[in-house]
Amino acid sequence: MDERHTQGLAALGGDALFELPAAQRCIRLGRALAEEVARLAGRAAPVGASLEEAGLASLETLVLAGKVERRLGVRLPASAWQGHQATPERLAQRIVQNLRPEDPATAGSRLGAVALGGWRVAAPLFCLGGAGGAVGYLAALDAALAASRPLVALRSPGLEGEEPPLGSVEEQAARYIQVIKAIQPEGPYLLAGHSYGGIVAYEMAQQLGVRGEPVGALLLIDTLRVENSGDSEPPAAETLAYELGLVQRRLGGAHQSRPLTDNPQLVAVYRSNYAAMERYEPRHYPGPVTLFKAREALPAATLHPQRRTRLYFDDPTLGWGALCPALRVVELEGDHFSLVLPPRAQRLAAAIEEVLGEEATFELGVERLRAAGGLSSRRALEETPEGGLELHPYHPDFLANPYPFLHQLRARAPLYRDREGNWWLTRYADVSACLRDPRFSADPARQSGAGGPGASWFDHQRLQPLARFYDNFMLFNDAPRHTRLKRLFAPAFTPEAVRRWGARIDMLVEELLDAMLERPAPELIQDFAEPLTIRVAAELFDFPREDVGQLLAWGRDLAAGLDLAAVQGDAARINRSAAAFSDYLREQAHGWLQGTARRSSTAPILDGAAMLDAGLALDDLVAAYAMVFMASFETTISMVGNSTLALFDHPGQLERLRREPELLGNAVEELLRYDGAVRSGLRCTLEEVEIGGQRIPAGERVILYFLAANRDPAMFAAPDRLLLDRANARQHLAFAHGPHYCLGAALARLELQGALRALARRRLAPLPQAEGLSWRRSAAFRTLERLPVVAAGPQNTWE
């Protein structure tokens, strides 16, 4: 074949492939893929070698998959790129099968635009400015870089009054990623930020990394890390005038006749960005980071004397060394402001180019010259025209990471009323008090009488099998019935009573982890967390092993049924599952009565026959089994996934757990606090109550948001930081509090300890996904749907 046919994917387009005879398409594409693999791996691989055998790491594989999608318009599932079957030849066959001649990726050639060769251009440097949000002061840096590469400055949303400021670093980073991808569709991305802008750039690199998007460089320009101080008091006008006046003088705006404080949009952005900076908790970042540090410290007078912001002034890395193992510090003349102004901006530009080097280029083809797509306008937390807030609990950003929004809600509206008429409580003290207060009912029948736009639909659900299924749960009953049932069942779930299941749980953990790691594409949720929890639950109740698959399907439906508002289209199926599971439990109960149900030598956790003999109603026994089954199912799946992800995000804490396994007990409590399984609990006021000076009438629904309470800085210092030795970690509300404290808490702790003990001994790492992490669309549970992992070192060792 002609040498022109071996130039990788750059020489291919959908139309070019369709010009070939069918038999030649796979051959041509297979060779192109092999050349791309060799380019990414840095060496040629034998014919028939898989991507992994060729030396491609997970990030390079994602780069290749993205290039195929953009060039040919074909997106294969992640599993297609993994395992021994993922060879260039087999991948070519699958791609050709999915190729369409009219795919948008071929639009350029159809319109007559033909790239006769690849273009090598300097990748743009995306740069963010300080807390004021403006970027004009970076003009000198832009001019100094102009000869080598473009600088794209990103100003804060809200400066033009087109929308309110974004209230968290995480939201700003997500918005800026949309912007840079509209300009540069694929990485590697070059990110930089001066002062506060460096913090947002750091979070952008984090978010891109989760998706497997390559970051070529992360440059922090005299960015000081801020000690998370939680929800601070809004600054006074005097404080804002003092600080903005100094910024204006130091960055060359003294000639302006109007002070910055006369610009209400800029003041709002500065206030919002400063609060976001104080709340932000940066996580470990494994990639290369360069800190350009001003030799002269940030002038002490920059912040108002009344500010209590804690900055890492005395740390030679300005606080980033503990988080960034690949940190490089470049010290330059000047101070925090003069570093980016003439004449020192020229030296900064030279230092930037020295770090970036000639490799910071990318190939630009005709198919990548396309109009920027529209940016998402709807936010998870929005300002209302009346000056209030509106939270959208099913917004993808809130489902993925609710904490930045909950912090803002707690700071601005700790007692928040949503469109449905529900009251949201986000402070630890309020949530804890309500859990102990008998004036707040847990009975769904009383809640259905509450008003609000969704009341009629809610009342309709009271007539369905699912409502009858949950009505007998002691979790959804008040005293005295709840007290009587809990007193009856509690002895079976004390720490002493469940301890006998520890060895069996540990055996199942090891068996399932070994099986997961033997799979070509291990996935923690479906391959480990789900089978672990369903098998433990089945053995606890002595259910037949062959019923596990059906129990898993029922369990998924019943968990979704706790949040029917999110899955109204599935209501009929969920109600059928509720009826079927109830019938199944009744059949088991009849077997206990007749003495024919025992299938194992280990006594089940509840002695159903003895309880029925003692006069317990069959409906109450069935409800108890169903409730414990549900509690041991959904929440444990969630906690295994959430805890593993948290440890991946905090490798220093994971290494400490490996070195100090005696920390495991407290580590479980901290992980339950840090990212719990249950988002919230629902209550109904039985009489008028007052919370934080606000009167709530009788018959109103109240949402106790456990995730917000567990990140309340008034209760937990540095709440967004994972600290496995946190002294008060056990005071979390992940298992609720008071009379309705979770019956199966000891069992859940035992399972989580077993899972984390084994996971800590194995060296695993998350596999980045192009679409990012996927979270279940639920207002009740915080559950990862998938967490692909790879082996990343010696297995089954503590050290």
pLDDT of residue 616: 79
Q: Give the per-residue pLDDT at 441.
A: 93
- Residue 758: pLDDT band by 50, 70, 90 thresholds? very high
Amino acid at 152: V
53: its two tokens:
């055998």
Using pLDDT thresholds of 50, 70 and 90, give the confidence band for residue 395. Answer: very high
State mean pLDDT over 181-201: 92
Quote the DSSP letter at residue 616: -
| Overall pTM surpassing 0.85 (yes/no) | no
Can you tell me the distance from the alpha carbon of 430 to that of 702, in angstroms, rounded to the nearest whole number?
A: 11
pLDDT band at 77 (very low <50, low <70, confident <90, very high): confident
Place of tokens 């204006």: 248
**Cβ distance 391 to 405 under 8 Å?**
yes
Query: What pLDDT sits at residue 784?
Result: 95
**237: pLDDT strictly greater than 70:** yes
pLDDT class of 5 with cuts at 50, 70, 90: very low
Q: Model confidence over 446-489: pLDDT tens digits? A: 765 554 444 443 454 555 666 766 777 777 888 888 888 888 88
User: Residue 453: what pLDDT?
Assistant: 41
Which residue has better confidence, 45 or 454? 45
Tell me the range of 127-136, 570-579, 726-735 where mean pLDDT is highest.
Answer: 726-735
Task: Give the tens place of pLDDT for each residue, 613-648.
Answer: 777 788 778 877 787 777 777 889 999 999 999 999
Residue pair 401/388 in contact by the 8 Å Cβ criterion:
no
Task: State the Cα–Cα distance between residues 47 and 34, nearest whole angstrom.
Answer: 8
Confidence of residue 13 (pLDDT cuts 50, 70, 90): low
Q: What is the pLDDT of residue 731?
A: 98
Q: How confident is the model at residue 182 (pLDDT cuts 50, 70, 90)?
A: confident
Query: pLDDT tens for residues 636-688?
Result: 999 999 999 999 999 999 999 999 999 999 999 999 999 999 999 999 999 99
**Confidence band of 4 (pLDDT split at 50, 70, 90):** very low
Residues of the chain above pLDDT 70, percent: 84
748 pLDDT more than 60:
yes
- C-alpha 529, offset from chain centre: 18
The lowest-confidence range among 159-168, 393-402, 415-424, 523-532 is 159-168
Please give the Cα distance from 34 to 48 (Å, whole number): 10
pLDDT at 373: 44
In this structure, of 196-200, 491-495, 682-686, 793-797, the range with the lowest mean pLDDT score is: 793-797
User: What pLDDT, on the 0 to 100 scale, is given for residue 1?
Assistant: 35
State the pLDDT at residue 259.
78
Least confident range of 230-244, 448-462, 722-736:
448-462
pLDDT at 2: 39
**287 neighbors 205 (Cβ within 8 angstroms):** yes
DSSP 791: E
Is 90 exceeded by the pLDDT of residue 504? yes
Q: Contacts by 347-355 with C-beta closer than 8 Å and gap 24+?
A: 348/141, 348/144, 348/221, 348/292, 349/141, 349/144, 349/145, 349/148, 350/144, 351/292, 352/125, 352/145, 352/192, 352/219, 352/292, 353/145, 353/148, 353/149, 355/217, 355/219, 355/290, 355/328, 355/330
- The pLDDT of 578-600, averaged and rounded, is 76
What are the Cα distances from residue 107, in Å, to 19, 22, 111? 15, 21, 6
DSSP letter at 526? I
User: For residue 102, what pLDDT is reported?
Assistant: 45
Rg (CA), the chain: 29
Domains of the chain as residue ranges with CATH: 3-115 (1.10.1200.10), 120-366 (3.40.50.1820), 403-791 (1.10.630.10)
Percent of the chain with pLDDT over 90: 47
- Check pLDDT > 90 for residue 769: no
Q: Check residue 377 and give its pLDDT.
A: 62
Determine the average pLDDT of the residues in 294-313: 83
Q: Where are the beta strands (DSSP E) in 39-124?
A: 119-122
pLDDT tens, 269-298?
999 999 999 999 999 999 999 999 999 977
Within a 10 A sphere around the Cβ of 126, how many other Cβ atoms? 23
Highest-confidence segment of 254-263, 390-399, 724-733, 761-770: 724-733
Q: Is the pLDDT of residue 168 over 70?
A: yes
Q: For residue 596, what pLDDT is reported?
A: 63
Q: Would you state the pLDDT for residue 772?
A: 80
Give residue 602's pLDDT band: very low, low, confident or very high (50, 70, 90). low
The chain-wide mean pLDDT, for the chain, equals 84
Q: What is the pLDDT of residue 709?
A: 98
pLDDT at residue 50 in the model: 85
Per-residue confidence (pLDDT) for residue 104, from 0 to 100: 41
Which structure tokens are listed for 363?
Answer: 């190939």
- Whether the CB-CB separation of 534 and 552 falls below 8 Å is answered with yes
Q: Is the pLDDT of residue 371 over 50?
A: no
The C-alpha atoms of residue 577 and residue 559 are separated, in whole angstroms, by 11
As to burial, measured by CB atoms within 10 angstroms (0-12 exposed, 13-18 middle, 19+ buried), residue 321 is: middle
What pLDDT, on the 0 to 100 scale, is given for residue 601?
Answer: 57
Query: To 5 degrees, how large is the angle CA 516–CA 522–CA 527?
Result: 50
Residue 95 pLDDT: 85
Res 379 pLDDT > 50: yes
Please state the rounded mean pLDDT for residues 479-500.
87
